[in-house]
Amino acid sequence: MLKLWLNLLSRNGGFLKLFFKFFTGGVVRPDPSSATFTSVVGCLDGRVELDKSIRQGDRKYNASLAMMASKLSYENAEFVHTIIRDHWNMENLGFYNFWNDFQGQPSTQAIMFQDTKNNPNLIVVGFRGTDPFDPIALGIDVDLSWIELEGVGMAHSGFMKALGLQKDKGWPKEIEKRSDPQQQYAYYEIRSKLREILQKNERAKFIVTGHSLGGALAILFVTILAMHEEAWLLDKLEGVYTFGQPRVGNKQFGYYMKEKLKENDVRYLRYVYCNDIVPRVPYDDDSIFFEHFSPCLYYNMYYNGKVLGEEPNKNYFSPLWVIPKYLNAVLELIRSFIIPYIGGSDYKENWLMKMYRVLGLIIPGLAEHSLQDYVNITRLGSLPMDLQNSLRHRNSKVGLPKKSQ
């Protein structure tokens, strides 16, 4: 209902014009399946264009593209297709709504596209994050049960189910494809599509990305590739980019993943903005045992980044952080009025985003999870020099043959 009202306001020029149109006629009714209908995420941050100052080969390019793909994944199929084709001049490969065997219905959305129509250099897989108004997605998030993966560790059961865990079979390496196109599983279908495209384009690479729940699915997708010893695909993986990602496994799971990422030379960049509550859940304590297994690229409210082993205030509720969290929320609200004068008109925040900042004064860390700030850190954010050099080196090699050993 909220999405419908927000789009009704947008399509009719705002509240006052909508008010007059109710009496004079001519109210434009939004179509939820159209290319102009936006999600709540899109209403909060209406940016759809890629940053033209960041070009392929730039140290920020892949992260910026990954973030925009994560943002775009919240939209409907027509919206996604239009933006990829008409705004980004790229090739749309698919909009998916994948089956969840345990819920008996689709629960997992993802998009896939490539940077050129022919002979692509880069394929992007973006998993959609949690829609706060979707009870199915919320059910996935709050499912704190574990699944034990032999030789791997314990992983978040809800996330695994969303990715394609089989009800009675677990994670077989291969499954028989279902005849119903509406009942395909995320991991198996995406893996099949990647195999098909990459076999035709030897120099192409792919990235996996997502925000919030989408970030969890992105790194778990790589986990299953490692479990299935998909060395060829992992060699084609340029990197995993997650934004505001929750914890996905226990300490043993973390050891396994660190070893596999190193073994396959997979770059994993976990972005965390300031007091964002989601990377700090599920809690890392003696009763739940969820842990992050990689350092984070942590950005403060000034978008200054640094590499940390763990985000500050890792479980969110530390009494020592109460005053700093509220103070930061106040400063972010003030910043929302002045940032266009610092970064330019692309960074102007609309009235809805400002209202969301006000809500952040009540629940600090909530507004920080918005995609507004994550888009900003991939564009305006600073990085440590050693990481800048590493990214520049890695990005310049996308699409190029590896040097002979």
Any idea which residues carry the catalytic annotation? 212, 276, 369
d(CA 113, CA 5): 30
CA of residue 58 relative to chain centroid, distance: 21
Across 5-157, where does the E strand assignment appear? 91-100, 105-114, 122-127, 146-149, 153-156
Of 286, 306, 287, 288, which is closest to residue 298 (Cα–Cα)? 306
Cβ-based burial of 160 (10 A; exposed 0-12, middle 13-18, buried ≥19) = buried
Question: In the structure encoding, which two tokens stand for residue 270, read together?
Answer: 């976990």
Which amino acid, residue 347?
A: Y
H/E element, 224: helix 213-227
d(CA 23, CA 274): 46
User: Residues 80, 81, 85, 86: is their CA dihedral positive or negative?
Assistant: negative
Q: Could you tell me how many residues make up the chain?
A: 405
The 3-class SS string of 22-63 reads HHHCCCCCCCCCCCCCCCHHHHHCCCCCCCCCCCCCCCCHHH
d(CA 200, CA 184): 23
d(CA 100, CA 95): 16
Identify any residues that bridge with 142 across adjacent strands, giving them in sequence order. none
d(CA 237, CA 224): 14
Contacts of 117 (CB under 8 A, 6+ apart): 91
d(CA 116, CA 90): 5
d(CA 291, CA 303): 25
Which amino acid, residue 400?
A: L
